[in-house]
Amino acid sequence: MLPSFVITGFLGSGKTTLLLNSAREHLSGKRVAVVVNELGEVGVDGKVLKNAYSEVLELPEGCICCSLHAEFEKGIEEIRRKYNPQVLMVETSGSAVPFPLLLSLQALECIVEGIICVVDCSNFDRYKNDSTAKYQIGGSNVIILNKTDLVDEDRVSEIEKEVLDIWNLYRPVNSLTGEPYYERARVYKTSYGRVPEEVFRGVYTIPELKNISTFHEHKHYQRVVNLLEPVDYDELQKKLKNLPNDVIRAKGIVRFKNYPFPMAINYVFGRIEEPIEVADYQGPSFLILIGCG
Ligand SMILES: Nc1nc2c(ncn2[C@@H]2O[C@H](COP(=O)(O)OP(=O)(O)O)[C@@H](O)[C@H]2O)c(=O)[nH]1
Ligand SMILES: [Mg+2]
């Protein structure tokens, strides 16, 4: 049985950051296989993660919790055969719900040690009524209140209460007995996904579940913009700032004028983050815009 973790959470909440900043450190010395499922033709997270993990499987276009179900299962089998990992980490796209993955992983003889939901404290009010976000919280047994550096402590406490209320309402329940599948959720407050080692020690193992149906509706859309020429940083910033309000997230790998390396760009709810170098990236420059339709 392969120990595995699912990292879920809304668009831009900090899932990849958690993989880079915590999982890598706490699981060092182990063969870790990472599966990322991105909205968009080209995976940005996959490219960034490859700097940290050698075994990264990208499952683009479509959602692993529904349309890519079969690819997900085939991919997991393949990565196990090829790399014989000791731990499997699955980062879902921001618009996937975790519960179907739990069932898939268990069917593939993985022990799910934790379903970790990353919550973006700085944007929580903007997305907390989204039904996918609620199922992401409810379907998790570890909740990370992330981006605490951008809000004050009182606000974090308020969010904690709200998140736990959502968790109570949306956690999966056995429809025959009415019993919830997870008894409790552990909550951590962090910035940049820096969580304590215990999150990856596997003390939250989820019991094996069977025959549960799930419902999931997709409301997000995405567009890929190809950038043929290197762009001016200030101009790109201006363009990103003027995106329509329904564009929640933008990310991509972009070449800038007067800069030698391609940079990974991240934009979440109107905020443009510090670009990260992706020195060995050879592919085209692009931006993926993800919005709510
Ligand atoms: N200020 C701040 N930014 C963060 C934090 N965690 C992640 N970010 C930034 O938020 C953006 C989206 O993070 P990412 O991990 O790609 O989100 P994902 O879409 O959930 O994988 C990136 O630019 C991160 O650097 C945090 O705790 N504080
Ligand atoms: Mg990501």
- The per-residue pLDDT for 213 is 46
Least confident among 153-162, 208-217, 219-228? 208-217
* Helices and strands per DSSP (H, E), number in the chain: 9, 13
Q: Cα of 9 to ligand 2 centre, how many Å?
A: 9
CA distance 128 to 123: 9
Which range is most confident: 59-68, 90-99, 169-178?
Answer: 90-99
**Is the beta carbon of 17 within 6 A of some atom in ligand 1?**
yes
The single residue listed with the structure tokens 């992706």 is 278
Ligand 1: which residue has its CA nearest to atom 22? 266
Which ligand sits nearest to residue 14's alpha carbon?
1
Determine which of 186-200, 222-236, 248-262 has the lowest per-residue pLDDT on average: 222-236
Report which ligand 1 atom has the smallest distance to the Cα of 273: 23
Specify the residue with its C-alpha closest to ligand 1, atom 13: 14
The ligand that comes nearest to the alpha carbon of residue 265 is 1
**Ligand 1 contact via 13 beta carbon (within 6 Å):** yes
pTM of the model: 0.80
Q: How far is CA 181 from CA 9, 31, 205, 209, in A?
A: 19, 30, 11, 8
Residue 177 DSSP one-character state: T
Instruction: Give the tens place of pLDDT for each residue, 77-135.
Output: 888 998 899 999 999 887 778 877 888 888 888 989 999 999 999 999 999 998 889 98
Q: How far apart are CA 163 and CA 172, in angstroms?
A: 15
Q: How far is CA 118 from the centre of its chain?
A: 8
Separation of alpha carbons 44 and 145, rounded Å: 23
256-289 pLDDT tens trace = 998 999 998 888 888 888 888 888 888 888 888 8
How far, in Å, is the centroid of ligand 1 from the Cα of 17? Answer: 6
Average pLDDT over residues 74-78: 87
User: Nearest C-alpha to atom 15 of ligand 1 is from which residue?
Assistant: 14
Rounded to whole angstroms, the Cα distance separating 97 from 11 reads: 12
**Is 62's pLDDT higher than 90?**
no
3-state SS class at 64: coil
Report the atom number in ligand 1 closest to the C-alpha of 9.
20
Ligand 1 neighbour 198 (Cβ under 6 A): no
Question: Is the pLDDT assigned to residue 156 strictly greater than 90?
Answer: yes
Ligand 1 pocket residue status of 193, Cβ below 6 Å: yes
What domains appear along the chain, each with residue ranges and CATH number? 2-200 (3.40.50.300), 220-292 (3.30.1220.10)
Take atom 28 of ligand 1 and give the residue whose Cα is closest: 147
Q: Which amino acid is at 145?
A: L
